[in-house]
Amino acid sequence: MALRRAGGRRRGRDRAAAAAPGPGAAVGVVGRQRLGPFDVARLTATDPAALDSWLRANGFTLPARLKTALTPYVAEHWEYVAIRLAPDTASATLRGALDPLHLTFAADRAVYPMRLSRLAATPQSLGLYVLAAHRMEPATAIGGLPPRTVYAGRLTNPGGALGTLARGTPYLTALTQQFPQPARISGDHELRRAASDTPVQQVIYDDELDRVAGIPAWLLTVGGLAVLLVAALAVLAVRRARRPVPPPPPVAPPPPLA
């Protein structure tokens, strides 16, 4: 389930205006549509328990703990985008790659939701790409290891979909962060402008042994030198063995005694 700040423009085939829950209703359905194999619902809520009940009643499977985790977002009047895979028939099997979904909305702050990740039972990692007018950074670590900037730079004439997204926001910042203990996540990431637009380019060195017929080249080199050395010693030994030995000088008998 995706979260977004309530209020603002959205792009897509469903252009229904944001609908607050009606009198006596704790959940408001902004819009619901089928996008290929996806069943997508946009919702508002004034009660996290009611939101949990609506999602379950409409086929969205959620962890039991999610009801409590949604409380801060309900209090701040966020809007929710619930997405589930829904084949045309119950017996149908989905195959192949899924097309990505594109969510667009306006907000007064750059916020990346992270609170729900505290429900994870295993360590989590975050890879976040931010397009803005300048280099961006998280305001705090929100309970994880310090965030690292692996790339920062101004894009020059990007093409395709990236060029469309970067129009007016040509500075790309790529961030990564590890959360060894997800339960310590204390909030959402709020992004702010960095102190400078200094570019960053991460360089990764990948050392690999050269191989010849599957054998490491260094082994062949060292082994070849060892063979040459043994051969040279053998040649020297053979030459020494074949070298003629001069006869000893003649021995003169001692003079006779008087």
* Alpha carbons 244 and 180: distance in angstroms, whole number: 79
- Kindly tell me if the per-residue pLDDT of 120 is higher than 80: yes
Report, in this order, helix, strand and coil percent for the chain, each rounded to 5: 25, 25, 50
CA atoms within 13 A on the CB side of 190: 8
| Predicted confidence (pLDDT) per residue in 31-78, tens digit | 999 988 899 999 999 888 888 889 889 988 777 777 778 888 888 888
Confidence tier at 225 by pLDDT (50, 70, 90): low
User: Which segments of the chain does DSSP mark as H helices, in order?
Assistant: 48-57, 66-69, 71-75, 160-165, 217-242
Token pair for 28: 């408001």
**103: number of Cβ within 10 Å:** 14
- Kindly tell me if the per-residue pLDDT of 160 is higher than 70: yes
CA atoms within 13 A on the CB side of 1: 27
Q: Average pLDDT in the 78-98 region?
A: 82
pTM (two decimals): 0.66
Lowest mean pLDDT among 22-26, 112-116, 124-128, 132-136: 22-26
Confidence (pLDDT) at 207: 73
Rg (CA), the chain: 36
In percent, how much of the chain has pLDDT > 70? 74
| Predicted confidence (pLDDT) per residue in 192-218, tens digit | 999 999 999 988 877 776 766 666 665
